[in-house]
Amino acid sequence: MITGQPITLWRRFLRFPWHLLLLSLALVTVGSLALYSASEGSWSPWAGRHAVRGGIGVVLVFILAFVDLRLLRKWSYFILLAAVGMLVALMVVDSGRFVSRWITIGGFTFQPSEPAKIAVVMALARYFDEQPPERMQSLLVYLPPLVLITLPFLLIIKQPDLGTALALLLGALSVLFAAGMPWRYIFMVIVLGLGSLPVLWMQLHAYQKERVMTFLNPSADALGAGYQITQSKIALGSGGLFGKGFLMGSQSQLNYLPEKQTDFVFTMIGEEFGLVGNLFILSVYLLLIGSILAISLRVGSRFAQLTCVGIAMMLFLYVFVNVAMVTGLLPVVGAPLPLISYGGTAMLTVFVGLGIVVSAVVHDRSEN
Amino acid sequence: MNKKAREKEFRRVMTRRSLLLGGMQLGIASFLGLRLYQLQVAQNSQYRRLSDRNQFDVKIVAPQRGRVFDRKMRLLAGNAESYQLRVTPLHAKDLPQVLDDLSTIIELKPREREEVIAAAVKNPSFRPIVVRGNLTQRELARLAVRSAYLPGVTFEKVLRRIYPQGALTGHVTGYVSPLTSRELDLNPALQQLPDLATGKIGVESALESQLRGKPGSERVEVNARGRPIRVLRDFEPSAGQDVRLALDIGVQLEAAEVLRRGRSQTVNLSLSEAQGAIAGNAELKSHIAAGDNLVLRDPKGNITPAESGALVVMDVRSGEIVSLVSAPMYDPNIFTEKLLTRDWRRLNDHPRTPLLNRVTTGMYAPGSTFKMVVALAALEAGIINERTSFFCKGDMELGNATFHCWQKLGHGTVNVLRALEQSCDVFFYEVALKTGIQRIKNMALRLGFGAETGIDIPGEKTGIIPSHDWKLATHGVAWTPGETVVASIGQGYVLATPIQLALMTARIANGQFAVEPSLLARSKTPEFAPLDIPDSALRIVRRGMKMVTHSGRGTARNYNLGAEFGGMAGKTGTVQVKRITTEQREAGIVKNIDRPWKERDHALFVGYAPVTDPRYAISVVVEHGGSGSSMAAPIARKILEKILRSDRGLV
């Protein structure tokens, strides 16, 4: 290879991480099949649209692949500002309704909290990219990131969307962690986090508190608030090793399982395909996340590295929160399983994230 | 170079941290995998069981209640299919919204709505709530099309108890009504059968265990929106037994009509005169409100409600009840589903208590109909015989009290036959004093007084047959001879129910066995205990009773049954409800018709027919009906004639 040679389109094509695309398309396919089953064997209303959205996502990845990562780096603060602006707008525009998470622009609804997660990751990546290594030991360096994280975090928690807010927080912290935050500050964050739990609890809406309490003792009210967790566990548990077969999940097909097309899609797959099906999906996710982390180790720019770590963490948190929730390890917080659950915003976010990772690979200047 | 080394170090830290994050994520993912293993493999059988139970709602299926027929297999109590609209809060999710949607299909009153919401709060959310029972065809058609889009809304075909004869047999059948909280407390298992209706009174209650049948169970595969997908019957419910009563609807209809009309003429309700009378008379108004549209014009021309009272006809051999009327009557159909407050109030506020079954719980002084008991006791004890006579001068002195005969001028010299024939009081005063209250009581008990008769209607009253011991126990003072005198003509403390009067008459007519009453048709006559009263005594009393209707001086001489039916024997009774003072007696007793209704005498008659080889015994009580001779006797004659006619295939 000749260094300094301009990167041609052909070379970019050669570098394209096709395996990321393949893995994500595999998940979208699984999702379409699951949604086909969720609507009792029909492409409408979910499965067909899900597949189309997957196609749009792939196109988006290709488009982002052409966008130079440096451009994103340059605009990252502005993007975060725009995301926070949308979150504020949401509070102003749609304050009449109890739960306001969606914004409608030209008939297209989406949740600004999802892109906000990526915006925070990129803004933090740029911030730490600009810090000289020797300054990383100073506590003052971590004050601006605190604002970058806290502002969207509080806005999202007020929506109220506890799940997304916590995912944003943990994703952002992973960037700080990867950037080399000293251990003593990490412990400080942990202690602070635990200490603020009671304050956080006071901020919660009654129904959010109830969810947490239900999680702590689901069987106390098996037909009330604990219904979802109990039904989810029954559906999963009755699936066994190999499941009841495609379209044969009685819990899901008989509608005992709530929200089977969104938050509880993993449960439905577990009922129909058993432990084998669930572990297969988990493995695909791990491969995808692992690939992104591997890319983060390979790419040259610090911004690209930190962004990749943050995006991998976001993806992981999506999967973890959802699976932990449907298996009764976490309270029901309303978190989708990315690329499989029906719902445009989460899928869009993940494809945008993947597009950024692809861009990081394609536009990488460092030569191995 | 230093900077470059630091950069390198920096990169190493990041690599390490990234790997650490990756390792952490892998660890957590493995933990999730273990959790899945725990749920799906280790606890699989447990969840599989739960899943099966989830799919199938095990439901207890109420059995079909046995039907009740009259002796000619005409339906008295049956089951009609009816559709209930139900909503299950669990599946409805947003109950108020679902009710809003429902009210666009059928009319839902705010009260009904509140009741549903209240029930949803009170009961577990998986238990369906009946929004509306007994849907009309029109409602059903509209709902069938549109309710499919309403989550948690279902129909259920249920069997509703119906009483086709309505008020006519209300006091016989009684009624079923939804389970009460007391029944549920006594038997919590019934909670699984929220639609079960149980007999509360009458035959429905007495024969509950026969009629109810055995519940079955079924598993209904439903989806989470509560829509049944498939039904698997595990145990078929077994229907309750049908029962056939001895009652004859034809006789019952005639009896209710004749008893309630009395000696008056019916008035057409549409006449303005009738409407005016109803508007101005609270009692008449409550009759009409309770669904009784029989209105009478009494001999003085006043417009009055139908007569109230009781009538029982019993087969003297088998004890079968051929007719049982208690007036006023009520329609048992109003009780089978949710009782409307309006209906309940109308029955409860009615001055003549339609819900009271006068045949079994109405306690009346038997009056002169009790004289057979005194005669039999004295004859059996040998205190009198057929020829023993007493002189009646119109009254009798005892100590410093005077006891009057109803015939002011006296009956002259009378023996037991004449005394029964003309209902001479003084004769029985004398005889009773010689016989003593204890012997009279013993005879009364053998004839069925003072105890439950055992008829298939729960809640029977025993009446009162007084004695020395009874007086001491209840009043704490000794019995006086004067009280024996009063008791001898069935007044004072003596109280009996119309069914007891009929039973006494049946036993006297039967002569051999202590018959017991039965509402159920009997396929063969059971072995009754022997009556154990000397035949000679019974024969004398029966002759006296024959003279009441046959002899020229009998109190019911005008109301004998035609010879073609074998004639009728009996005894009249006219019971004072208000004490007659000396001044009133001297001024001349005011005629019944000129007194307020409440102060008029009760009119009684007991009798049997045919005279030789008796078949049916009857007792008639017309409350405040005037005299037994002119009011009760003709009613008894008409009914006995009706029965004997239809027995012979005549109309």
The answer to whether the Cβ–Cβ distance between B22 and A290 falls below 8 Å is yes
The first and second tokens of residue A195, run together, are 């200490």
Residue of A nearest to B19 (CA): A293
The first and second tokens of residue A155, run together, are 């806005």
Q: How far is CA B506 from CA B300, B448, B642, in A?
A: 36, 10, 18
Q: State residue B624 phi and psi, 5-degree precision.
A: 50, 40
User: Which pLDDT value is given to residue B380?
Assistant: 96
Mean pLDDT across B366-370: 96
Residue A221 CB: number of other CB atoms within 10 A?
A: 15
The first and second tokens of residue B390, run together, are 């007493």
Mean pLDDT across B585-610: 86
User: Which pLDDT value is given to residue A253?
Assistant: 63
The answer to whether the Cβ–Cβ distance between A255 and B225 falls below 8 Å is yes
The answer to whether residues B48 and A240 touch, using CB atoms and an 8 Å cutoff, is yes
Mean pLDDT across B177-184: 82
- Structure ipTM over 0.95, yes or no: no
User: Which pLDDT value is given to residue A182?
Assistant: 87
Residue B64 CB: number of other CB atoms within 10 A?
A: 15
The answer to whether residues B623 and B308 touch, using CB atoms and an 8 Å cutoff, is yes
User: Which pLDDT value is given to residue B139?
Assistant: 84
List residues of chain B with CB under 8 Å from any CB of chain A.
6-7, 9-10, 13-15, 17-19, 21-22, 25-26, 28-29, 32-33, 35-37, 39-41, 43-44, 46-48, 50-51, 54-55, 90, 124-126, 221-225, 229
Q: What percent of chain B has pLDDT over 70?
A: 94
User: Which pLDDT value is given to residue A87?
Assistant: 86
User: Among residues 38-67 of chain A, which lie with CB inside 8 Å of chain B?
Assistant: none
CA distance B628 to B600: 12
The answer to whether residues A257 and A270 touch, using CB atoms and an 8 Å cutoff, is no
Contacts of A14 (CB under 8 A, 6+ apart): none
Q: Does A235 touch chain B (CB under 8 A)?
A: yes
CA B459-B453-B334 angle, 5° bins: 35
B55 pLDDT exceeds 70? no
At residue B412, what is the residue type?
Answer: G
What letter would DSSP give residue B40?
I
Lowest average pLDDT, out of A58-72, B415-429, B612-626, goes to A58-72
Angle between helices A265-298 and B2-37 (to 10 degrees): 160
Residue A137 or B536, more confident: B536
Strand bridging mode B153-162 / B75-87:
antiparallel
User: Which pLDDT value is given to residue B583?
Assistant: 77
CA distance B526 to B544: 29
CA A258-A261-A263 angle, 5° bins: 65
Strand bridging mode B303-305 / B216-222:
unpaired
pLDDT per position as a tens digit, B109-125:
888 888 888 887 776 66
What letter would DSSP give residue B164?
T
CA distance B486 to B473: 19
Token pair 């056939």 is found at: B244
What percent helix, strand, coil does chain A show, rounded to 5?
70, 0, 25
pLDDT per position as a tens digit, B445-470:
999 999 999 999 999 999 999 999 99
Banded pLDDT at B516 (limits 50, 70, 90): very high
Which residues of chain A lie closer than 8 angstroms to B221, CB-CB?
A: 254
Q: Does A83 touch chain B (CB under 8 A)?
A: no
Can you list the positions of beta strands (E) in B357-445?
390-392, 395-398, 401-404, 412-414
The first and second tokens of residue A156, run together, are 């999202």
The first and second tokens of residue B275, run together, are 């409407």
The answer to whether the Cβ–Cβ distance between A309 and B229 falls below 8 Å is no
What letter would DSSP give residue B58?
E
Among B324, B316, B259, B247, residue whose Cα is nearest residue B497: B324
Banded pLDDT at B314 (limits 50, 70, 90): very high
Among B427, B429, B397, residue whose Cα is nearest residue B414: B427
Banded pLDDT at B621 (limits 50, 70, 90): very high
Residue A123 or B92, more confident: A123
pLDDT per position as a tens digit, B465-486:
999 999 999 999 999 999 999 9
Mean pLDDT across B129-140: 83
Give me the count of residues in chain B.
651
User: Which pLDDT value is given to residue A254?
Assistant: 59
Which residues of chain A lie closer than 8 angstroms to B6, CB-CB?
A: 133-134
Q: State residue B357 phi and psi, 5-degree precision.
A: -85, 100
Residue B107 CB: number of other CB atoms within 10 A?
A: 10
Residue of B nearest to A177 (CA): B17
User: Which pLDDT value is given to residue A226?
Assistant: 60
Which residues of chain A lie closer than 8 angstroms to B124, CB-CB?
A: 223
Residues of chain A with pLDDT below 50 are 1-4, 95-99, 106-108, 219-225, 368
Residue A16 or B492, more confident: B492
Which residues of chain A lie closer than 8 angstroms to B229, CB-CB?
A: 254
Strand bridging mode B216-222 / A103-105:
unpaired
pLDDT per position as a tens digit, B258-287:
999 998 888 888 888 888 888 888 888 888
Testing the interface with B: which of A234, A244, A264, A292 to mutate, by most B Cβ within 10 A?
Answer: A234
B651 pLDDT exceeds 70? no
Mean pLDDT across B527-542: 95
Testing the interface with A: which of B31, B36, B90 to mutate, by most A Cβ within 10 A?
Answer: B36
Which residues of chain A lie closer than 8 angstroms to B55, CB-CB?
A: 250-251, 254, 256
DSSP string, A350-365: HHHHHHHHHHHHHT--
Domains in chain B, ordered, with CATH? Answer: 58-244 (3.90.1310.10), 263-305 (no CATH), 309-345+358-647 (3.40.710.10)
B518 pLDDT exceeds 90? yes
CA distance B311 to B257: 11
Contacts of A303 (CB under 8 A, 6+ apart): A69, A73, A122, A125, A126, A129
Which residues of chain B lie closer than 8 angstroms to A39, CB-CB?
A: none
CA A259 to chain centre: 18
The answer to whether residues A247 and A271 touch, using CB atoms and an 8 Å cutoff, is no
Give me the count of residues in chain A.
368
Q: How far is CA B617 from CA A246, B57, B313, in A?
A: 78, 56, 6
Chain A: give the shortest CA distance to residue B124, in Å: 8
Burial bucket for residue B522 (CB in 10 Å: 0-12, 13-18, 19+): middle
Q: Does A316 touch chain B (CB under 8 A)?
A: yes
User: Which pLDDT value is given to residue A167?
Assistant: 85
Alpha helices in B272-402 (DSSP H): 272-280, 282-289, 341-348, 358-361, 371-381
